[in-house]
């Protein structure tokens, strides 16, 4: 099992890319998932990662970027990235009058990534687990496209689902999980509030023991102190 950090978690830390990777390595992580291309040239990025024994495991790339800026895919590939993930689509993308268009766009993006030699996954939030008719949006999305799945267990829990059941259901489509903890709160806009690992209501240890996935990616959507959140997450993983 490789344990990585989604760099979105550290976006407000104010660190250079080099310092970020050094801190990620020092916290005990062996990989990063990009949420935007670094400013440094590819050779420098590779050197920084290699020196700190941190691999570039994947990248979150918006659907609109795949469609309108295809060279971004090549730039990530220069960093060694082959796993691409669509991080978010607004709920309105899955409205009945737009659903078919959205599926067509996702299918085209998937073919584009496949043609480039990569794999494309979809990263859920809570709204894709809403039921429309007899199926959830996620069920329809995965049945009508060939995308893989990066399951965010935190938002799945906030949606009232069992992440282990979802992992088993989509075992053949699952490329990685986002290990995120949330404190359940019916009054919160999305059913829960992101917190540090072990501070919320997600069955994190049970998930890791039950789910045979090679890539586990830590994410905290809005840490008050990114440096503390990173170290605490590394400490949480250390006994694993």
Q: Which of 177, 118, 110, 170 shows the shortest CA–CA distance to 145?
A: 110
Range of the domain at 46: 2-237
Query: Which residue in the block uniquely carries the two structure tokens 């309108």?
Result: 68
**Which residues contact residue 64 at a Cβ distance below 8 angstroms, ignoring those fewer than 6 apart?**
none
| 26 has pLDDT over 90 | yes
CA pair distance 134, 103, nearest whole angstrom: 18
Identify the band that residue 218 occupies on the pLDDT scale cut at 50, 70 and 90.
very high
What mean pLDDT value characterizes the chain?
A: 96
Q: How many domains does the chain have?
A: 1
Q: pLDDT tens, 87-124?
A: 999 999 999 999 999 999 999 999 999 999 999 999 99
Higher pLDDT, residue 135 or 212 = 135
CA pair distance 94, 61, nearest whole angstrom: 19
pLDDT tens for each residue of 48-79: 999 999 999 999 999 999 999 999 999 999 99
Identify which has the larger pLDDT, 187 or 226. 226
Distance in angstroms (rounded) separating the CA atoms of residues 114 and 154: 28
| CA–CA gap between residue 93 and residue 77 (Å, rounded) | 28
pLDDT of residue 83: 97
Over its C-alpha atoms, the chain yields an Rg (Å, rounded) of 17
The pLDDT of residue 189 is: 86
Confidence of residue 154 (pLDDT cuts 50, 70, 90): very high
pLDDT grade for 85, boundaries at 50, 70 and 90: very high
* pLDDT score of 200 more than 90: yes
Map tokens 């895919």 to a residue: 73
Residues 82/56, Cβ–Cβ less than 8 Å: no
pTM of the predicted model, to two decimals? 0.96
- What is the bridge-based pairing of β-strands 135-136 and 83-86? unpaired
3-state secondary structure the chain: CEEEEEHHHHCCCCCCHHHHHHHHHHCCCCEEEECCCCCCCHHHHHHHHHHCCCEEEEEECCHHHHHHCCHHHHHHHHCCCCEEEECCCCHHHHCCCCHHHHHHHHHHHHHHHHHCCCEEEEECCCHHHCEECCEEHHHHHHHHCCCEEEEEHHHHHHCCCCHHHHHHHCCCCEEEEEECEEEECCCCCCCEEEECCCCCCCCHHHHHHHCCCCEEEECCCCCCCHHHHHHHHHHHHCCC
pLDDT of residue 213: 87
* pLDDT beyond 90 at 223: yes
Q: What is the CATH number of the domain that holds 118?
A: 3.20.20.150
Which pLDDT score is estimated for 126?
96
If DSSP states are collapsed to H, E and C, what string results for 85-135? EECCCCHHHHCCCCHHHHHHHHHHHHHHHHHCCCEEEEECCCHHHCEECCE
Q: For tokens 């990063």, what's the residue?
A: 32
pLDDT value of position 240: 76
Does 40 score more than 80 pLDDT? yes
């Amino acid at each position: 099992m490789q344990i990585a950090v989604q760099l979105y978690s550290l976006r407000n830390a104010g660190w250079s890319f080099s310092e970020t990777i050094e801190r990620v390595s020092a916290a005990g992580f062996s990989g990063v998932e990009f949420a935007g291309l670094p400013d440094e040239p590819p050779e420098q990025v590779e050197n920084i990662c290699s020196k700190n024994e941190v691999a570039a495991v994947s990248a979150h790339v918006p659907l609109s970027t795949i469609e309108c800026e295809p060279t971004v895919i090549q730039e990530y590939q220069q960093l060694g990235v082959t796993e691409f993930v669509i991080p978010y689509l607004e709920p309105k993308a899955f409205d009945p009058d737009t659903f078919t268009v959205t599926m067509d766009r996702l299918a085209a993006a998937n073919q584009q990534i496949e043609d480039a030699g990569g794999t494309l996954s979809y990263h859920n939030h809570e709204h894709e687990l809403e039921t429309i008719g007899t199926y959830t949006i996620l069920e329809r999305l995965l049945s009508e496209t060939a995308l893989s799945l990066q399951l965010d267990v935190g938002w799945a829990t906030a949606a009232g689902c069992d992440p282990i059941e979802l992992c088993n259901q989509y075992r053949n489509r699952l490329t990685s999980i986002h290990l995120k903890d949330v404190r359940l709160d019916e009054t919160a806009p999305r059913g829960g509030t992101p917190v540090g690992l072990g501070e919320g209501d997600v069955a994190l240890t049970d998930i890791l023991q039950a789910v045979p996935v090679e890539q586990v990616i830590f994410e905290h959507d809005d840490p008050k102190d990114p440096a503390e959140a990173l170290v605490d997450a590394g400490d949480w993983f250390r006994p694993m």
